[in-house]
Amino acid sequence: MQSLQNVEIAADLIERARAGDRDAHERLYLLLSKPLYTLIRRLVVRPAVAQDLLQDVFVEILRSVCRYNGSGSFAGWVRSIAVSKALMYLRSPWHRGLTWVTADGVMALHEEAVMDAAPMDADLERALDGLPALSRAVVWLHDVEGFTHAEIARLFRRTASFSKSQLARAHEQLRATLKPRAGDLACMPLSRNC
């Protein structure tokens, strides 16, 4: 899985982008679009919304790159923009009621993404998608992106205890969802004599 932490951005590319070089802007998009989409997609269930947010993030990056002062990593700066945009969407009333689940747990709104997120185990993907948006965001930010509880608390304008409790509840729900059923293990031979 490609992560923003693994993307190397040369200082001269950033300087060219800050100067308005369109080739540098395109190169940044090519380097960052997949890991950014993966991050956004894990925070936001609907692929079409994630694609829209990705475009919003790049507009913000290109609009603000001249203000990037070099303190901290460029990828970290970009990641903070993406997380902020995704969380603004999750806090908005527009996303509520848009995710409909049928009686058998299948999403009723399926849209093809222009860009696929990094592949993930299908059971894990379903389990994450089954979490409330807030819990899914906390799990992804903490467990995958490496945010601390204090950083998550600042993003959500809450306390670190909020982040910890959301994570604990989400982990409990994920364990329950992903726990193998008794029948799944019944067919496994314990020795060669079975």
Q: For residue range 149-193, list pLDDT tens digits in order.
A: 998 888 888 899 999 999 999 999 888 888 865 444 444 444 444
**The pLDDT of residue 192:** 40
Query: What is the mean predicted confidence (pLDDT) over 23-44?
Result: 93
In one-letter notation, the amino acid at residue 159 is T
Which residue, 4, 145, 21, 177, is CA-closest to 12? 21
8 A C-beta contact, residue 37 and residue 29:
no
Taking the C-alpha atoms of residue 41 and residue 120, their distance in angstroms, rounded to an integer, is 12
Phi, then psi, of 2 in degrees rounded to 5: -80, 130
8 A C-beta contact, residue 147 and residue 137:
no
Average pLDDT, the chain: 79
Is pTM beyond 0.85 here?
no
Sign of the alpha-carbon dihedral angle for 1, 109, 40, 16: positive
Query: What is the mean predicted confidence (pLDDT) over 115-142?
Result: 77
Query: What is the mean predicted confidence (pLDDT) over 123-135?
Result: 83
Query: What is the mean predicted confidence (pLDDT) over 6-12?
Result: 88
Taking the C-alpha atoms of residue 43 and residue 95, their distance in angstroms, rounded to an integer, is 12
